[in-house]
Amino acid sequence: GQNIDQPTEMTATEGAIVQINCTYQTSGFNGLFWYQQHAGEAPTFLSYNVLDGLEEKGRFSSFLSRSKGYSYLLLKELQMKDSASYLCAVPTPRQLTFGSGTQLTVLP
């Protein structure tokens, strides 16, 4: 089975950088996803890491270390609209198993 841990809440200031960590244990690794979810809305895809290393996509970057069972999402130049829940998830062919999500609050 899969076990995913991420912090429940984080707070940061507009313009700052924040790193949201995720650790996972899985019986078979098929990559790791990050989704963003605003309150009451659908999760939207941010990134998918299969290989070790950092992948950058604009203000958002995602890092993966398969040997450590560890990933992080890095958000730069934070904006108020980045206030949302960030979900770490690991896939199998049958399902996507999500962590409980990290609620990020961006303060002015």
Partner 1 sequence: EAQVTQNPRYLITVTGKKLTVTCSQNMNHEYMSWYRQDPGLGLRQIYYSMNVEVTDKGDVPEGYKVSRKEKRNFPLILESPSPNQTSLYFCASKGGVAKNIQYFGAGTRLSVL
Candidate residues 28, 40, 53, 58; the one interacting with partner 1 per rule CB under 8 A: 40
The piece of 9-17, 25-33, 53-61, 64-72 that touches partner 1 (CB under 8 A) is 25-33
According to DSSP, the residues that pair with 47 across neighbouring strands are 34
Output the six-digit token pair for 18: 């924040």
Candidate residues 13, 100, 105, 107; the one interacting with partner 1 per rule CB under 8 A: 100
Quickly tell me which residue has 């990559």 as its tokens: 31
- Quote the CA–CA distance of 13 and 83 in Å, as a whole number: 10
Output DSSP code: residue 51.
Answer: S
In one-letter notation, the amino acid at residue 34 is W
The piece of 10-18, 43-51, 62-70, 76-84 that touches partner 1 (CB under 8 A) is 43-51
- 41 lies in the binding site for partner 1 (CB under 8 A): yes
- 60 lies in the binding site for partner 1 (CB under 8 A): no
Number of alpha carbons in the 13 Å side-chain half-sphere of residue 102: 25
| Cα 34–chain centre separation | 4
- 101 lies in the binding site for partner 1 (CB under 8 A): yes
Q: Which residues contact partner 1 by CB under 8 A?
A: 30-31, 33, 40-45, 48, 87, 91, 93-101
